[in-house]
Structure 1
Amino acid sequence: MLLELVEWIGCATGLCGAALLALNNRYSGWGFVLFLLSNVAWIYFGLLTHATGMVVMQIGFTATSLMGVWRWMIVTR
């Protein structure tokens, strides 16, 4: 049950983050925050399922999400 919940949280936050970025408006930076939540969920999911490749990929995506938060929400303000 927990595993399925984490999987769907990762899915939903990732999709919503992508949609916000696609809008390319003043709220788009929040897409990177949603991506960070998605990254955390997928890392947790990967650890629970022993999916090492997914964990490594999500660590890389976490770095790009942090760059996005920096660029869209900190530097541009």
Structure 2
Amino acid sequence: MDINAFIDSLQWPAMLATLVAAYLVGSQSRRKRNWGFLCFILSNALWIAWGWHAQAYALIILQFGLFLMNLRGTRKNAPAADAS
């Protein structure tokens, strides 16, 4: 498999990671939500790699924005330090 075929195939694991992440983020469990945000970050990276190869620059910008929102989600999902 050449590199172009490999990068073309990244859209499938990216889609799967996005679906798994969406499912996990909807959980009431903080731990599952955290895994969901991490899966979203993985999917952002995969979509950026695929988008760069496909010259889908709007998708790349979207994924950077979503990446920042997922970082915010992981921070807000963390337990409060001063929960006294």
The reply to whether TM is greater than 0.5 is: yes
Q: State whether structure 2 residue 68 is matched by structure 1 residue 68.
A: no
Structure-2 residue corresponding to 1:54: 59
User: What's the TM-score once normalised by structure 1's chain length?
Assistant: 0.87
List alignment gaps of at least 5 residues for structure 2. none
User: What's the TM-score once normalised by structure 2's chain length?
Assistant: 0.81
TM-align CA RMSD: 1.3
Distance 1:19 1:68 in 2: 15
Task: Choose 1 or 2 for highest CA Rg.
Answer: 2
Q: CA offset at residue 70 of structure 1?
A: 1.4
- Number of corresponding residues: 75
List alignment gaps of at least 5 residues for structure 1. none
Task: Give the secondary-structure state (helix, strand or coil) at the position aligned to 2:17.
Answer: helix
Structure ranking higher in helix proportion: 1
Q: CA offset at residue 3 of structure 1?
A: 2.6
The runs of at least 4 consecutive aligned structure 1 residues that moved more than 2 Å come to none
Q: CA offset at residue 5 of structure 1?
A: 2.8
Distance 2:69 2:60 in 1: 14
Distance 2:77 2:38 in 1: 10
Structure-1 residue corresponding to 2:14: 10
Structure-2 residue corresponding to 1:19: 23
